[in-house]
Amino acid sequence: MFRNLKRMGRWMAIAVVVGMFCSSAALAKKPDKPPGGGGGEDPPAVEVNPAIAFVTVERTRQDVVVASADLSSEIVLTQTIQSKSKGVYTHLFGSPAWSADGSMVAFWAHDWTDRDFPRMKLYVASADGAQLALVRDFRSRPSLHKPGGGSGDFGAGLNWSPTGLELLYEGYHALVAIDVLTGDIRVLLDGFYTDDPVGQPALSPDLDDAAGYQGMVAMRGRDGSVDAYGTPQFDIFAAPIASDADGYLLPLDPASIVNLTDAPGTNEFHPSWSPDGSEIACFHADGSDAWLAVINMATRLLLPIYPDYATSGGGHDRATWTSDGQDLIYRTDYSGIDRFDLTIIAADGTGFPEDYTNTQTRREYAPAWNPAWDPAGPGGF
């Protein structure tokens, strides 16, 4: 009981500082009133059981949204951030990530309001869209370990620690933890001089979010080989990670890092853990072709998922597992058509990929499934 109270205290502290009191998984959104007024009672609230977050692009406008599993309802989290300057939308967004309790979504924002001095920012929003907080502005609070490095700004990845106190990302060839409350940065692994694998980190799931967390972190890193053009090749690596008594992540031991794929001549990138931690999804590239694959942690075997189906694992896209571990959702690049949609496919490699989104006027990418999604709530499959 004491541990549960301590855990609740941590989440409440974050909620107070960020201005968020949103602990319910079933959230409500009121639709806009019809034009012309008319008085009377407000229209009934539309229940949204937030299952997935992703980035949308409609013409030149980008936003981060959360949606029900069947996509019948969604909430725009970045409504108050996005703006126009000289007819051009000012913000690009990437890498939405859910807190363990499903109440908050973190994401990167590239603010181009000042075209000569763009800002990289980290935000946290309540999943109902009611509250928003800036964790750090990397222009007003500069740091060597701003997001990016080997993977680009949005490709740095973004993960909540199990205790909810920190967010993990790649910051200039280093594995970095940033305090959600203060925006302070700590380096957990510096790979700049040693070429240690630090890119696109992903934390393994853990049901016990108390202090003393023990888990794994998967990362993209150089495997020491090059292709025919001399370009470095990358594999997926993993290492144990733990937290101290206060719930803050501890630095990694470089000697504990192991290569999971070890496939010279190919590239693996953007790792994503299954809900039970037994598998890692990633993108597997051989030359110019890239497809989805799943690494079995027990056997270290890599299973291509429908390799004849063209996928795009570039940029800041990471496949996401549905909460039952049965399916994977990822961005698909339809060749010759200027649009991107989200696709769903069985994680065991059986069956065929199907459209998850199929919108004609907008594109969707960077999906992230809510680990606390309630399948019995509204908007389920």
Q: In this structure, what CATH number is given to the domain that contains residue 216? A: 2.120.10.30
Q: Residue 127 carries which DSSP code? A: T
Is residue 60 situated within a structural domain? yes
Is residue 381 situated within a structural domain? no
Task: Kindly give the parts of the chain with pLDDT less than 50.
Answer: 1-6, 8, 20-40, 43-44, 313-315, 335-338
pLDDT tens per residue across span 109-154: 999 888 778 889 999 999 999 999 999 999 899 988 888 765 557 7
User: Which pLDDT score, from 0 to 100, does residue 85 have?
Assistant: 80
User: Which pLDDT score, from 0 to 100, does residue 288 have?
Assistant: 65
Is residue 282 situated within a structural domain? yes
User: Which pLDDT score, from 0 to 100, does residue 172 have?
Assistant: 83
Range of 89's domain? 2-29+46-369
- How many separate domains does the chain show? 1
Is residue 311 within 8 Å of 299, Cβ to Cβ? no
User: Which pLDDT score, from 0 to 100, does residue 193 have?
Assistant: 62
User: Which pLDDT score, from 0 to 100, does residue 232 have?
Assistant: 74
User: Which pLDDT score, from 0 to 100, does residue 211 have?
Assistant: 67
Is residue 41 situated within a structural domain? no
pTM of the model: 0.86
Residue 38 C-alpha from the chain's centroid: 42
- Calculate what percentage of the chain has a pLDDT beyond 70: 78
Distance CA 268, CA 202 (A): 14
CA dihedral over 324, 204, 67, 13, signed as positive or negative: positive
Is residue 319 situated within a structural domain? yes
